[in-house]
Amino acid sequence: MRTLRTLAVLPLLLFLAGCDMVVMSPSGDIAAQQRDLIVISTLLMLLIIVPVIALTFLFAWRYRASNKEATYDPDWHHSTQLEVVIWAAPLVIIIALGAITWTSTHLLDPYRPLARIDESRPLPEGVKPLEVRAVALDWKWLFIYPDLGVATVNELAAPVDTPINFRITSSTVMNSFFVPALAGQIYAMAGMETKLHAVINKPGVYDGFSANYSGAGFSDMRFKFHGVDQAGFDAWVAKAKESGQTLDRAGYLELEKPSVREPVKLYANVENDLFDAILNMCVDTQKMCMKDMMRIDAQGGMGKAGLGNVFALQYDKPRSRSGHTAPQKRFIAAVCTPEAPRDGQTVERVTPRPDGRRASAAGLPVSQTAMAPGAAVLPE
């Protein structure tokens, strides 16, 4: 009797865990569609699992040793009817799951712009999405609103029923941007950009965090997402404008340094093209942007001119781990290349070396008039 009472109490322990069912009760349309996909897939699979479990108990009971009335047929080996049921039912379910998966993979593609606000409201024509740039830092989140000129650390806000276009990247290691009430998780990787289109349909304050382990401060890499009405969002933006703080390149390099439990910060102004510099890993003006490096590679590389044009990183130096020191990281210090045409004009970009000299690229033209004051062309 005591054992039975203990078994009866065990299910109640689930309520003590304080499980948050936000994934199954989200507040955003994308998350709601993902929830529906989980439910439908589970029910389809249960169509096989439940009968199999029930038949297992039925067979064990009917053909028990003490049941002398059960049919005994040791030579039985085949039944066409059973074969049809055993193979047809799973096949139908697999076809259904495949169709649902294929359709939802395209409809819920995070790169796909939204076509509706929710299940009953299509997206009106001419609605301008809210643009947000999300950057995963060690161990905090930076959010930049390029159209509004503001930025925040560890706090995100958006108007209810307004499409949100996220562009996501990381400053160092891979992280994962995840607001369960809004949409599924999207990875953030250094030097790469991922996208997410989503909408929040209910006002509230929701939890956001990194869902990919990224080191010592990972467990505190959390933020609050505020879903508010338009008036509340305008007040939130005004509060950021009143902070008087400006996030420029120098400020970002300080913010980028690892820190744990960083308090919420608001910035009234953000330097132009800061996210582009973060994405191309060239916030430090002494570094070459990845897009420029890729253009050089596409044009044949730097040849011998690049051999002496490499410098060691002055920050983010590899730290000793378990007595082993990682090799020193290096970067290309300077180059002169014809920049890709922009706005109908072709200009030549000069990135000076820290020592004031300048490298020439093998096979690429070098314009003496475009050289920085005091810079010299390195000998090949």
CA 276, CA 278: separation in Å to the nearest integer? 5
Q: Comparing 41-50, 222-231, 338-347, which segment has the lowest mean pLDDT?
A: 338-347
Q: Taking residues 228-249, what's their average pLDDT?
A: 95
Domain-embedded: residue 72: no
- For residue range 260-285, what is the model confidence (pLDDT) as tens digits? 999 999 999 999 999 999 999 999 88
Q: Taking residues 351-377, what's their average pLDDT?
A: 42
Domain-embedded: residue 66: no
Judge whether residue 209 has pLDDT over 70.
Answer: yes
Strand segments (E) across 203-305: 204-210, 222-228, 246-247, 265-267, 269-270
Instruction: Tell whether 94 and 127 lie within a shared domain.
Output: no
Q: Taking residues 20-47, what's their average pLDDT?
A: 91
pLDDT at position 69 is 83
Judge whether residue 348 has pLDDT over 60.
Answer: no
Instruction: Tell whether 211 and 272 lie within a shared domain.
Output: yes
Distances, alpha carbon 222 to alpha carbons 12, 153, 349, 373, in Å = 30, 10, 39, 46
Give me the CATH number covering residue 238.
2.60.40.420
188 beta partners: 175
Specify the number of domains making up the chain: 3
pLDDT at position 13 is 55
Instruction: Tell whether 143 and 222 lie within a shared domain.
Output: yes
Instruction: Tell whether 100 and 239 lie within a shared domain.
Output: no
Domain-embedded: residue 144: yes
Element (H, E) at 295: helix 290-298
Judge whether residue 367 has pLDDT over 50.
Answer: no
Instruction: Tell whether 148 and 103 lie within a shared domain.
Output: no
Structural domain ending residue among the three candidates 252, 279, 306: 279
**What is the percentage of the chain residues whose pLDDT exceeds 90?**
55
Q: Comparing 120-129, 163-172, 320-329, which segment has the lowest mean pLDDT?
A: 320-329
- For residue range 87-114, what is the model confidence (pLDDT) as tens digits? 898 899 999 999 999 999 999 999 999 9
The confidence band for 4, taking pLDDT boundaries of 50, 70 and 90, is low
With H, G, I as helix, E, B as strand and everything else as coil, classify residue 230. Answer: helix
Instruction: Tell whether 275 and 294 lie within a shared domain.
Output: no
Instruction: Tell whether 159 and 270 lie within a shared domain.
Output: yes
Judge whether residue 133 has pLDDT over 90.
Answer: yes
Q: What's the chain's average pLDDT?
A: 81
**What is the percentage of the chain residues whose pLDDT exceeds 70?**
73
Domain-embedded: residue 67: no
Distances, alpha carbon 106 to alpha carbons 36, 99, 112, 113, 166, in Å = 15, 11, 8, 11, 18
Residue whose token pair is 């650390």: 153
Range of the domain at 49: 20-60+81-108
Domain-embedded: residue 147: yes
Instruction: Tell whether 152 and 41 lie within a shared domain.
Output: no
The confidence band for 330, taking pLDDT boundaries of 50, 70 and 90, is low
Domain-embedded: residue 15: no
Domain-embedded: residue 203: yes
Judge whether residue 155 has pLDDT over 60.
Answer: yes
Q: Comparing 289-298, 329-338, 359-368, which segment has the lowest mean pLDDT?
A: 359-368
